[in-house]
Structure 1
Amino acid sequence: MCWDISLHTDIELVKNSYPKIRDERKKKEYNYDYFENVQAITFPEYPIIMKDKEGEGIALLEMEWGVLPTYIQDPKLQDDRRRSMVNARSERILDDKKSFWYRLKNQRCLIPVSGTYEHRKISGWKKKVPYYIAEKGRDIFYLPGLYQWHETVDEDGVVEKVGSFGMITRDANAVMANIHNDGPNKHRMPLFLPEDLEKLWLSDDLSEDDMRAIFHFEIDTKDLLFHPVYTLRGYPNRPDDKHRYEPFDWEGLPPLGNDKPIANTLF
C-alpha cells in the first residue's frame, strides 16, 4: 500500500515553499521520466526535506526510502522487514512508547511529490486498476515522514552516514477507501496535509498534542484530484505514449463505489 509515487514537477519549486532551505543534495539534476513512478519498496534514493535535530534549520537532501531496521542483523530478514517500513501508520507513532517509530518521532521530514498512486480491485477483472491521486491546485506538495541515520562500512573500511525514511499514512477518506479497496493494508492513504500543517510538521516546538492533531487531519475529497492511469508495473510504456500520471480510459471501468463484476479479458 502507498508504495508508488510520482515526482514529475521541478524539485526547485521546493525553494519557493521553503526559501531558507539548505540544498545538500549530491545530485542536482533528475530524470523526471524515472520519477514519474517511484516504487518505495525498491528503497530508492529520493529527495526529502529534513528537519535538523540540532536546530540548524531544514535541508533538502537524498535519503533511501524505507527506514532500515538496524536492530535486525540478518540481511534478508532486514530487507523483508524494511519493506513494511516504507510506511508508518500514524496511529502507532505516539500510542506505543516502546515502538521504533516513537523513537523517531522528532526526526521529522517532508517528502516532495507531484502525486501518488493506489490500486483498485474490480470484481471480475484479472488485475487491479491504478489511480493517480494528487492535491488540487498544487504542482508539488509534501507528505510527512520520519527518518533516521545509520552508518555503513564499505569493503575498504570507509564509514558512510546514510539516511532512510518512511512515509506516514492514516485511515482512508471516502474516495480513497473506494480506490484502495483490497489487500492486507486496504483502506489506507498517505497523510495528505494542507500547507499550514506541512510547515507545522517541521516546527521546532511541535508537541505530541500538536502531532496527534496532525495525524487526525483528514483531507476532504473535494481537495483531491484522482483518475485511473495505465498499468504501472510490467508494461514499460503506455500505448498512447502519454505520461504515466495522465488519465487513461479503461473500457468498462465502473465508477468508484460500484464494483459489480464486469467482463474484461485484457485487464
Structure 2
Amino acid sequence: DDALEEIKTALEIKISPDVYRILGEIYFNKGVIDLAIRNFRESITLDPSLAEGHFLLGFALGEKGRIDESLEQVKKAIALNPALAQFEPNLPIDIKEHKGHWEFLKEQLGTPKISKNEYQVHFNLGMTYRNKGLFSEAKREFEECLKFQPDNPDLQLALGEVDLFLGKFDSALEFIQKAYEFDFDSPICVNTWGAACCLKGDLAEAAKLFDKALALQNNHTAALNNLAVVESNLNNSAKALDYYKKAIDCGCAEARYNLGMHYLRLGEHENALKSFSG
C-alpha cells in the first residue's frame, strides 16, 4: 500500500510509461485487474515500444477471459523483445499464480525462440533498462547473461555499475574488480572502480584509481571530473581547479557545473556565476 501511494505521487509529478507499468503491476498482484489493465494501457499509449507493458497487459486481459486480445498483446511484446518468450526470468508478476495462462499462450503462439545469441539479447535489454534508470530490471537481465558468458569483462562491469546505482557498494566492487582481472588496461573499468571507492568514502584510494585511469587515457573526461571532485573534497583547491579545467577542455559539461559549486564553496561568487553561465 505504501508503494502504491508512492507510485501515485510519482504520477502526479511526472507522467511516465514506466510509472504506469509499475502501478499496473501492483494492481495486478493485488488482484485489481481492471485498474491493472487501465494502467498498462496508459503505459503503452505513452510508449508503444515498451515490450513489458504489452506483455503484462496481455496477462491482465487473459485474467478477464479476453483471450484474443491477450494473444495480440503478447505477440506484440515478443516481437519487440524476444527475451520475453522465456517469461520466467523476465517478469515481475507472480509466476505461480499465472503460469497456467502462460502455458496456454505458449501453445497458441508456438513460443518463438529467444535468439541465436541469447547473451546479446539479454545484455542489450539490460543496457536499455539501465539507460532508463530501471536498475533492478537491468540487473535481472545482466544476471541472465552470466549463464552464457560469466567471465565477460563488459558484463562484470555492467553489473558493477548497476549495483553502484542500487547502493550495493560491496558487491559492486566485487564485480568491478573481476572485470579488471580480465581487462586491466581499461580506463573505464579503473574509473568505475574509483567511483565505487569514492561512494564508499575511501577518497584516497579513489584518487589513486582516477590517476591510474588517466595514466591509461590522459583525456578520460569522467576520470578528470571525478579526480577534481575528490581533490575538492580533500581541500586541495589548486589541484581540483586544474582537473576541472582539463575536464571542461575535454568537453565535460558536468565538470563545468561542479567547478561552479567548487567556487561557491570557496566564496568566489563571480567565478561561480561565470562557470554556471558557460
Range into which the TM-score falls when normalised by the shorter chain? under 0.3
Structure of higher CA gyration radius:
2
**Higher fraction of strand:** 1
Structure 2-normalised TM-score? 0.21
Tell which has more relative contact order, 1 or 2 (C-alpha 8 A, sep 6+): 1
Structure 1-normalised TM-score? 0.22
**Higher fraction of helix:** 2
